[in-house]
């Protein structure tokens, strides 16, 4: 009598915290491939996905809260694998410039104006944008990170946070990054993980990079840094160090740690065996919009796939990318990979979804806890409306998600089982209040009369 | 006493049909450059823009209808300069394929299944999508065009329509295209303009192209066709004809007509003087998303700008582009131009807006009647919400529009002074009814068991 047994088991259990029912669900098959279950239900208990079952099976399940997913698709929340959330305050300020002028003449001067409160406001605005766009985890690399962490707590998002440093700051920079990583590791009821965050091989010297690798081993911390951002940096590194940026990281011991490399558009053929033999968990974050804007190559995803290096999706900061729209990064990853390789068969919609789910989760060190709708994973999921005239008809849900749906089609965003946006209404953050306070700060924020800048770009 | 005089003048006038007030307005300066007016108002009478003035000046103006534009930006509606609206029915059906297989193995076989009703449904869905995305005019190139025209009438959109033909159809194809163009020219109270629509130089022979040029002159009709879609077509044309596709069009006399060339990514340096000396009004439509997807080059906008050929924005059909999102075409035009030229300074946000407004209007032969918020132009405009967390703060409205705002931020779409969407609610079309009827048709629509196709691709 299996029905009775099931019935008994259910009766013994307390009600589920949340049941999303009647939706299509993006699930992963036994081999990890992208698959879709129709008329599905997702059951959430204690912040975890307890079950992904059929709508019929979940119909009578007692639940504290139910969401009707009819016409919607449930999928793992997106992961923004590399951003600088607070830089939303500079969105659209420095356009149509090469990277040197963008850094030296515009961004690094105005970053010297930032107060702690500006970082808070910029991060809150970023969190609102990301929740609205279906992002449930972001990897942030910036300054004044206590304020970023506190904004994360308030937003309800999951985050992987690192306090950036330059060698020009002296040992204090590295110490502060370590101190932050140790204090906030496991914060926000486990939603916050941390990393050491040297800025890049062109702003952090070999000794500091080697010291970072040692600290990472000593404290069991991963490392998140910019590396081989573009081809010019690789050429310059070869001239200065006789090694590519990846070679510099290897020599410093950083490839023996769990390391997340932002961008990597300057990764060379010679770097591939170096990355392949790395003892640490090496991953790359790709933010393709900015590469188009700066006229760079894009991240070599095909070569990285060949050596098993996961590539997560990212947006970089809004000062270069103009948005924190990981959905757009997913579409642009598919499009720019086809364009860069000249091969329309490469990077299919399902491969793009693999980057958006499994590979992004692995990139930020959460490969076992997020990135899939599967029992035991954290309940980080989003519901996407597939009924819009720009999505219909749906011949193939993968193509519909990657090439037709938009971040604005995300109706509901859930992290750790908590609904942060429902039917496009943000439940944890007040956007008009944030933007009103930020507006008053803009004249001071963009002032360059002081002639300062926080660093010189010479990548 | 100027106030009194103004007051008297107002009193004598009947109430305005519509006043949009309190918005930022995208306007063109005396030299045609993009500018922005704050606290503006747009006054509409008899389907025309009567005035673009200050919110204060319009505060007491009697009006049948007022729209509060606070936090929004008014701009000319977007123009989709080349699409196949009805192909929404095949959205996402044929993905990750080179153009030959896309045409021969997937699209041209299923197009043989299309009934007139399918064309109606696909076009209505396309119109709903375009109205939702801020498009007010579309240039369509397809079959069963009476049904496209009737759907256009129902939607309230403006359209530039041409019935496509192949030489393989015999003279009937060309005759039908002419007959349609003459019957529907000036239809829908002037919202419909028409063109002769040979498919392309690789499917329409020299004699038919020359006959088309003669008919265009005889009847005062423009011509809309695919040309130099990609580099391979140009190479093949040189082998077969000793001329590029542009050279073939010149020899046929088509560059002496007002001609709209779709795509043009295969336009060569040698074509430029040919296009520059054309006696007709030559324009190009660019749909950059599909070029990325197929791994093609992109349209050479910089070279075309140098010789004064306007380039309008387009999406092509949803079967290749996956959406009819001209807003995305605008952003991708800026991004792919920077990438293709390696120059981050080329194709600024303001240049992208020039393509989206002035150049697109010129491309479809409406350069004097749409494309600008200016007195005497048709009242085709959209209101865009700038208050979202993904757009704020707005340091520069041009950058905000091109690089941060999305088609989903269009709140209100107006054509000829008639509101087609208000606060994202479509007022002329019923999407659930359209998609429900279309759903039932899908099995027959995608059947390829018959082994037919409407044409062979050998470009």
Contact across the interface for A91 and B295, Cβ inside 8 Å = no
Looking at chain B from residue 324 to 343, which residues have their Cβ under 8 Å from any Cβ of chain A?
A: 324-325, 335-336, 338-339, 341-343
Tell me the pLDDT of chain A averaged across its residues: 96
* Residue numbers in A near B129 (CB within 8 A): 388-390
* Residue numbers in B near A394 (CB within 8 A): 92
Q: How much is the pLDDT for B7?
A: 42
Distance from CA of B274 to the nearest CA of A (A): 29
Q: Which one, of A89, A98, A99, lies nearest residue A144 by Cα? A: A89
Beta partners for residue B418, in sequence order: B415
Per-residue pLDDT averaged across A17-25, rounded? 97
Question: Does the structure show a pLDDT above 80 at B375?
Answer: yes
Q: Which segments of A298-430 does DSSP mark as H helices, in order?
A: 301-306, 318-321, 326-341, 349-354, 360-363, 397-399
Between CA A377 and CA A381 the distance in angstroms is 10
Per-residue pLDDT averaged across A299-320, rounded? 98
Q: Which one, of B259, B326, B324, B329, lies nearest residue B298 by Cα? A: B329
Phi, psi of A92 (to 5 degrees): 75, 10
Which residues contact residue A206 at a Cβ distance below 8 angstroms, ignoring those fewer than 6 apart? A241, A248, A251, A252
Which pLDDT band, with edges at 50, 70 and 90, does A8 fall under? very low
**b vs e for B260-285, b when ≥16 Cβ sit within 10 Å of the residue's Cβ?**
bbbbbbbbbeebbebbeebebbbbbb
Which pLDDT band, with edges at 50, 70 and 90, does A138 fall under? very high
| CB of A395 less than 8 A from some CB of B | yes
CA angle (A135 as vertex; A291, B321 as ends), nearest 5: 55
- Rounded to 10 deg, the angle between the A206-219 and A171-184 helix axes is 20
Which two three-digit tokens encode residue B209? 């192209």
Helices H / strands E in chain A, number of each: 19, 17
The SS3 call for residue B361 is helix
Question: Does the structure show a pLDDT above 50 at A4?
Answer: no
Q: How much is the pLDDT for A10?
A: 52
* Residue numbers in A near B436 (CB within 8 A): none
CA angle (B27 as vertex; B24, B29 as ends), nearest 5: 135
pLDDT over 90, % of chain B: 96
Contact across the interface for B129 and A289, Cβ inside 8 Å = no
Which pLDDT band, with edges at 50, 70 and 90, does B457 fall under? confident
The SS3 call for residue A320 is helix
CA angle (A210 as vertex; A204, A212 as ends), nearest 5: 75
Which two three-digit tokens encode residue B33? 């450059």
ipTM reported for the complex, 2 dp: 0.96
Q: How much is the pLDDT for A9?
A: 47
- Pair B13, B60: CB distance under 8 Å: no
Q: Which one, of B101, B130, B133, B74, lies nearest residue B317 by Cα? A: B130
Among left, alpha and beta (phi > 0; psi -120 to 50; other), residue A303 is alpha
DSSP sequence for A275-316: HHT-SS-EEEEE-HHHHHHHT-----HHHHHHTT--EEE---
CA angle (B414 as vertex; B411, B415 as ends), nearest 5: 150
A203 Cα distance to chain centroid: 23
Which two three-digit tokens encode residue A381? 């999921």
Between CA A39 and CA A253 the distance in angstroms is 49
* Residue numbers in B near A399 (CB within 8 A): 92, 95, 322
Length of chain B: 459
The reported pTM is: 0.97
Between CA B416 and CA B49 the distance in angstroms is 9
Per-residue pLDDT averaged across A138-162, rounded? 98
Q: How much is the pLDDT for A12?
A: 72
Phi, psi of B77 (to 5 degrees): -60, 150
- Pair B346, B333: CB distance under 8 Å: no
Per-residue pLDDT averaged across A114-135, rounded? 98
Identity of the residue in A97, A341, A404 whose CB atom sits nearest the CB atom of B91: A404
Between CA B274 and CA B255 the distance in angstroms is 9
Question: Does the structure show a pLDDT above 80 at B380?
Answer: yes
- Residue B181: which H helix or E strand, with range? helix B171-184
DSSP letter (8 states) at residue A77: P
Question: Does the structure show a pLDDT above 60 at B116?
Answer: yes
* Residue numbers in A near B413 (CB within 8 A): none
The least confident of A155-159, A203-207, B396-400, B449-453 is B449-453
Among left, alpha and beta (phi > 0; psi -120 to 50; other), residue B371 is left
Distance from CA of A132 to the nearest CA of B (A): 8
B344-355 tens-digit pLDDT:
999 999 999 999
CA angle (A86 as vertex; A85, A90 as ends), nearest 5: 110
Between CA B192 and CA B152 the distance in angstroms is 8
Which two three-digit tokens encode residue A216? 């990472």
B410-420 tens-digit pLDDT:
999 999 999 99
Tell me the pLDDT of chain B averaged across its residues: 96
Which pLDDT band, with edges at 50, 70 and 90, does A458 fall under? confident
Distance from CA of A389 to the nearest CA of B (A): 5
Distance from CA of A276 to the nearest CA of B (A): 28
Q: How much is the pLDDT for A455?
A: 86
Which two three-digit tokens encode residue B44? 């509409």
Identity of the residue in B133, B292, B439 whose CB atom sits nearest the CB atom of A393: B439
Q: How much is the pLDDT for B2?
A: 38
Give the strand pairing for A282-286 and A66-68.
Answer: unpaired
Q: How much is the pLDDT for B10?
A: 52
Which two three-digit tokens encode residue A42? 């997702």
| CB of B408 less than 8 A from some CB of A | yes
Q: How much is the pLDDT for A13?
A: 82
How many CB atoms sit inside 10 A of residue A4's CB? 8
Q: How much is the pLDDT for B11?
A: 58
Maximum Cα–Cα distance across chain A: 79
| CB of A442 less than 8 A from some CB of B | yes
Question: Does the structure show a pLDDT above 80 at B132?
Answer: yes
- Pair A248, A282: CB distance under 8 Å: no
Identity of the residue in A126, A432, A442 whose CB atom sits nearest the CB atom of B393: A442
* Count of alpha carbons within 13 angstroms of residue B155, beta-carbon side: 32
| Interface probe with B: pick from A87, A98, A340, A344, most Cβ of B within 10 Å | A344
How many CB atoms sit inside 10 A of residue A54's CB? 15
| CB of B349 less than 8 A from some CB of A | yes
Q: Which one, of B384, B287, B297, B371, lies nearest residue B87 by Cα? A: B287
Q: How much is the pLDDT for A202?
A: 96
Question: Does the structure show a pLDDT above 50 at B316?
Answer: yes
Per-residue pLDDT averaged across A203-209, rounded? 97
B173-221 tens-digit pLDDT:
999 999 999 999 999 999 999 999 999 999 999 999 999 999 999 999 9
Contacts 24+ apart (CB under 8 A), A7-16: A10/A60, A10/A61, A10/A62, A15/A61, A15/A62, A15/A63, A15/A64, A16/A43, A16/A44, A16/A45, A16/A50, A16/A61, A16/A62, A16/A63, A16/A64
* Count of alpha carbons within 13 angstroms of residue B442, beta-carbon side: 18
Per-residue pLDDT averaged across B273-283, rounded? 98
Q: B193: exposed, middle or buried (C-beta count within 10 Å: 0-12, 13-18, 19+)?
A: buried
| Interface probe with B: pick from A389, A430, A432, A439, most Cβ of B within 10 Å | A389
Q: B205: exposed, middle or buried (C-beta count within 10 Å: 0-12, 13-18, 19+)?
A: middle
Q: How much is the pLDDT for A11?
A: 58
Contacts 24+ apart (CB under 8 A), B234-237: B234/B266, B234/B267, B234/B268, B236/B202, B236/B459, B237/B201, B237/B202
Helices H / strands E in chain B, number of each: 19, 17
Q: How much is the pLDDT for B12?
A: 72
Cis check for the bond before A393: say yes or no (omega within 30 of 0). Answer: yes
Which pLDDT band, with edges at 50, 70 and 90, does A1 fall under? very low
Which residue is it, tokens 């002032």?
A: A447
């Amino acid at each position: 009598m299996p029905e009775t047994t099931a019935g008994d088991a259910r009766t013994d259990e307390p009600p589920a915290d949340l049941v999303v029912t009647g939706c299509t669900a993006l699930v992963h098959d036994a081999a990890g491939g992208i698959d879709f279950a129709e008329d599905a239900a997702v059951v959430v208990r204690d912040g975890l996905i307890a079950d992904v079952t059929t709508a019929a099976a979940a119909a009578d399940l007692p639940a504290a809260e139910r969401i009707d997913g009819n016409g919607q698709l449930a999928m793992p929340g997106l992961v923004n694998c590399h951003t600088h959330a607070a830089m939303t305050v500079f969105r659209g300020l420095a356009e149509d410039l090469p990277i040197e002028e963008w850094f030296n003449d515009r961004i690094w001067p105005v970053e010297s104006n930032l107060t702690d409160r500006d970082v808070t406001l910029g991060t809150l605005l970023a969190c609102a944008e990301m929740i609205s766009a279906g992002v449930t985890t972001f990897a942030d690399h910036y300054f004044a990170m206590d304020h970023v962490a506190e904004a994360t707590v308030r937003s309800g998002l999951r985050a992987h946070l690192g306090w950036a440093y330059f060698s020009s700051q002296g040992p204090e920079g590295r110490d502060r990054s370590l101190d932050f990583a140790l204090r906030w590791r496991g914060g926000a009821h486990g939603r916050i993980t941390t990393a050491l965050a040297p800025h890049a091989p062109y702003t952090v010297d070999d000794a500091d990079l080697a010291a970072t690798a040692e600290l990472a081993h000593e404290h069991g911390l991963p490392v998140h840094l910019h590396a081989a951002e573009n081809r010019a940096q690789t050429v310059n590194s070869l001239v200065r160090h006789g090694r590519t940026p990846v070679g510099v990281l290897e020599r410093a011991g950083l490839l023996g740690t769990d390391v997340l490399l932002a961008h990597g558009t300057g990764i060379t053929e010679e770097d591939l065996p170096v990355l392949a033999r790395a003892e640490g968990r090496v991953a790359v974050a790709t933010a393709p919009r900015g590469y188009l804007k700066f006229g760079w190559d894009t991240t070599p995803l095909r070569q990285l796939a060949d050596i098993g290096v996961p590539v997560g999706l990212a947006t970089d900061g809004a000062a270069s990318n103009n948005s924190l729209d990981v959905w757009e990064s997913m579409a642009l990853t598919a499009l720019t990979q086809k364009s860069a390789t000249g091969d329309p068969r490469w990077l299919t919609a399902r491969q793009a979804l693999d980057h958006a789910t499994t590979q992004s989760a692995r990139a930020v060190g959460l490969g076992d806890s997020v990135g899939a709708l599967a029992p035991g994973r954290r309940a980080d999921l989003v519901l996407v409306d597939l009924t819009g005239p720009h999505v219909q008809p749906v011949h193939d849900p993968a193509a519909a998600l990657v090439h037709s749906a938009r971040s604005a089609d995300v109706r509901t965003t859930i992290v750790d089982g908590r609904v942060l946006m429902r039917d496009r209404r943000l439940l944890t953050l007040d956007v008009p209040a944030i933007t009103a306070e930020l507006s008053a700060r803009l004249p001071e924020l963009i002032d360059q009369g002081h002639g300062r800048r926080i660093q010189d770009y010479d990548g």
